[in-house]
């Protein structure tokens, strides 16, 4: 295997799931500005096409239900038919209902695991064999800082993001002697529809989608494995990991991190988001829409 070099994004083919809005859209825009050819996959095909038209530069929009392996396979195949072999694949689709865990219905739990966990699994299993065959590739899984820090009010979501962090880490080990890289992105609160109604917390400033997009671009260029957004979050994680549990609890109380999601439950903006994701499809398994 030849030594890996700094990746030049210009001319690369990038496929992004759930990119009709939010982080996915911002990432597509940032990559296009670097000269990449981008494919947007989303269950909301009309919005995806609108986004592709807005971004221009030959960006394509394709239908995608990340919970369905056949749909994922078709998304990968059609992307490569229209743009060429995929160099970078970004598993970005996700949803985040907020609720007391014991009050969460079974459908919500299953939909989160179907979208947030099976989505990246389906994406990796669809695209990595192609990357291995041609001897190059990079998969980026967008997780969350909730994959490292437990947050009351989004217990199931935390579980799904812990799963993504763990799966990505294991895949890094399995692929370490191959020319295919993996990265896991862990942002704090990002101001998209997914966090509508969620207040700010003390000590950690909420991000904009463009902030995460910039981190993803850097990860592609440097092939960094762990991508913390902001980078200071990694220091916080390492520090709190050494602290007694009671001290962590006290810090969470002072920063209001222990109430962040629970306090958002009654917010009108939050209710609007929850209503929308609950109506994405009549089926129980959700849609793969990124917000």
Residues 131, 142: contact at Cβ < 8 Å?
no
Sheet containing 37-42, strands listed edge to edge, beginning at the edge strand earlier in sequence: 60-63, 37-42, 13-17, 88-91, 137-142, 180-187, 226-229
Buried b (16+ CB within 10 A) or exposed e, 250-289: ebbeeeebbbbbbbbbeeeebeebbeebeebbeeebbbbb
Residues 273, 255: contact at Cβ < 8 Å?
no
How far CA 257 is from CA of 69, 153, 252, in Å, comes to: 36, 11, 5
Find the catalytic residue in 157, 225, 237, 273: 157
CB neighbour class for 26 (10 Å; exposed up to 12, middle 13-18, buried from 19): buried
Residues 286, 67: contact at Cβ < 8 Å?
yes
Residue 238: CB atoms within 10 Å: 9
Based on the residue annotation, tell me whether 157 is a catalytic residue of this protein.
Answer: yes
Apex 122 CA angle, 112 and 174, nearest 5? 110
276 φ/ψ angles, rounded to the nearest 5 degrees: -65, -45
Q: Using CA atoms, how far apart are residues 231 and 187, in angstroms rounded to an integer?
A: 9
Tell me which residues are annotated as active site: 157
């Amino acid at each position: 295997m030849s030594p890996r070099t700094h990746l030049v994004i210009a001319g690369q083919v990038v496929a992004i799931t759930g990119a009709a809005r939010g982080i996915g859209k911002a990432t597509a825009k940032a990559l296009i500005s670097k000269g990449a050819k981008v494919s947007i996959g989303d269950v909301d095909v009309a919005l995806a096409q609108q986004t592709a038209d807005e971004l221009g530069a030959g960006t394509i929009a394709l239908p995608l239900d990340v919970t369905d392996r056949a749909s994922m396979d078709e998304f990968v195949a059609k992307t490569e038919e229209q743009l060429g072999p995929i160099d970078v694949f970004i598993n970005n689709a996700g949803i985040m209902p907020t609720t007391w865990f014991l009050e969460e219905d079974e459908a919500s739990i299953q939909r989160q695991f179907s979208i947030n966990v099976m989505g990246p699994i389906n994406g990796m299993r669809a695209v990595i064999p192609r990357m291995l065959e041609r001897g190059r590739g990079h998969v980026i899984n967008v997780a969350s800082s909730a994959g490292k820090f437990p947050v009351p009010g989004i217990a199931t979501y935390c579980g799904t993001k812990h799963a993504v962090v763990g799966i990505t880490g294991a895949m890094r080990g399995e692929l370490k002697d191959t020319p295919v890289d993996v990265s896991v992105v862990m942002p704090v609160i990002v101001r998209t529809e997914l966090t509508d109604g969620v207040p700010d917390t003390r000590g950690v400033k909420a991000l904009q989608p463009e902030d995460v997009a910039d981190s993803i671009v850097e990860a592609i260029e440097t092939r960094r494995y762990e991508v913390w957004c902001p980078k200071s979050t990694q220091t916080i994680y390492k520090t709190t990991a050494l602290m007694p549990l009671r001290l962590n609890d006290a810090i969470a109380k002072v920063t209001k991190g222990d109430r962040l999601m629970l306090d958002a439950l009654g917010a009108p903006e939050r209710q609007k988001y929850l209503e929308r994701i609950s109506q994405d499809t009549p089926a129980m398994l959700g849609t793969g829409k990124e917000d």
